[in-house]
């Protein structure tokens, strides 16, 4: 498999960065993960918007455009003979001396990792369990999709390597937060609920897309501070991320849900199929 590293397409076994990269030394780096569907990088504009905002916050003086990343992706996919793929776009701070740096980073490392994926389409159900590990608070004013992933690693170790289970964090105040690698939603009546960003969660790109779909489908949207007991009253529950899309939940702490039989899960899944091969931004979603 070939990856992209600072202007070159090289074998993943040959990839090298310096140990003086502050992404390695101090975790100063960001990444985005997204899917390519039949050659189209779904919601790329939204991913780049979040990435560029994070880079500015970390004083990494680099911004990326759709044209630039699209051209890299096209060649990367062609060289690897891929049309459907997992993409991780990673930006680390770049070289620095040992010690904390105040000055901006001027030469970050850009690495793009592809992995083959089968064509999407099937709803895959999971069970949700409440984690003992609490969601840590963000390092700054908001949670960035950064290299700081120990909290997630500890949570994953708690539940083990079971692909049909997603662990759900409570934050330090005891409110529902998010999954280990996902955002959490539930529906009761005509209301779509999701924990507020004030709980310290990552504002996932798929989360934002689903909220937009909710508006376009005339659902009321409620983002707030919720106990897990409140979520147990839901009609349907699901989690989201950019690789797994919409993941129906069949049970959570002893409460059963309809999973992939839920009508709203099915509707969002259908909407996903409609948009995934052509949409650049959630702002282009329009109800017919």
Q: Which domains are delineated in the chain? A: 2-116 (3.30.470.10), 126-283 (3.20.10.10)
DSSP summary character for residue 95: B
Q: Which residues pair with 30 in a beta bridge?
A: 91, 146
pLDDT attached to residue 288: 45
Angle, helices 44-57 vs 205-216, to 10°: value is: 130
Average pLDDT over residues 118-126: 91
Q: Is residue 191 predicted with pLDDT exceeding 90?
A: yes
pLDDT attached to residue 140: 87
CA nearest to 153, candidates 184, 134, 180? 180
Report how far residue 98's alpha carbon sits from residue 25's, in angstroms, rounded to the nearest whole number: 8
| Residue 139's pLDDT band (cuts 50, 70, 90) | confident
C-alpha distances (whole Å) from 184 to each of 27, 91, 105, 208, 210 are 26, 27, 34, 12, 11
C-alpha distances (whole Å) from 81 to each of 77, 85, 113, 215 are 6, 10, 14, 38
Average pLDDT over residues 28-51: 98
Among 47-56, 186-195, 209-218, 279-288, the least confident range: 279-288
CA nearest to 167, candidates 157, 175, 34? 157
Average pLDDT over residues 230-242: 97
């Amino acid at each position: 498999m070939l990856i992209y590293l600072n202007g070159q397409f090289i074998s993943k076994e040959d990839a090298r960065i310096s140990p003086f990269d502050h992404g390695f030394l101090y975790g100063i780096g960001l990444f985005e993960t997204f899917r390519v569907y039949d050659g189209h990088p779904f919601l790329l504009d939204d991913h780049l918007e979040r990435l560029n905002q994070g880079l500015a916050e970390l004083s990494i003086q680099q911004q990326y455009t759709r044209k630039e990343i699209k051209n890299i992706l096209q060649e990367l996919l062609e060289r690897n003979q891929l049309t459907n793929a997992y993409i991780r776009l990673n930006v680390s701070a770049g070289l620095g001396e040992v010690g904390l740096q105040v000055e901006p980073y001027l030469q970050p490392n850009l690495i793009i990792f592809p992995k083959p994926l089968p064509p999407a389409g099937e709803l895959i159900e999971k069970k949700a369990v409440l984690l003992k590990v609490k969601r840590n608070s963000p390092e700054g004013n908001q949670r960035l999709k950064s290299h700081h992933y120990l909290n997630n690693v500890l949570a994953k170790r708690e539940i083990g390597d079971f692909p049909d289970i997603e662990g759900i964090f409570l934050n330090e105040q005891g409110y529902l937060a998010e999954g280990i690698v996902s955002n959490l939603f539930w529906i009761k009546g005509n209301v779509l609920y999701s924990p507020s960003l004030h709980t310290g969660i990552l504002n996932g790109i798929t989360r934002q897309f689903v909220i937009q779909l909710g508006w376009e489908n005339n659902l009321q949207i409620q983002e707030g501070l919720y106990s897990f007991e409140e979520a147990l009253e839901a009609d349907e529950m699901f989690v989201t991320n950019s690789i797994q899309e919409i993941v129906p939940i069949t049970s959570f702490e002893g409460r059963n849900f309809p999973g992939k039989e839920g009508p709203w899960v099915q509707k969002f899944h259908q909407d996903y199929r409609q948009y995934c091969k052509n949409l650049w931004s959630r702002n282009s979603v329009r109800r017919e």
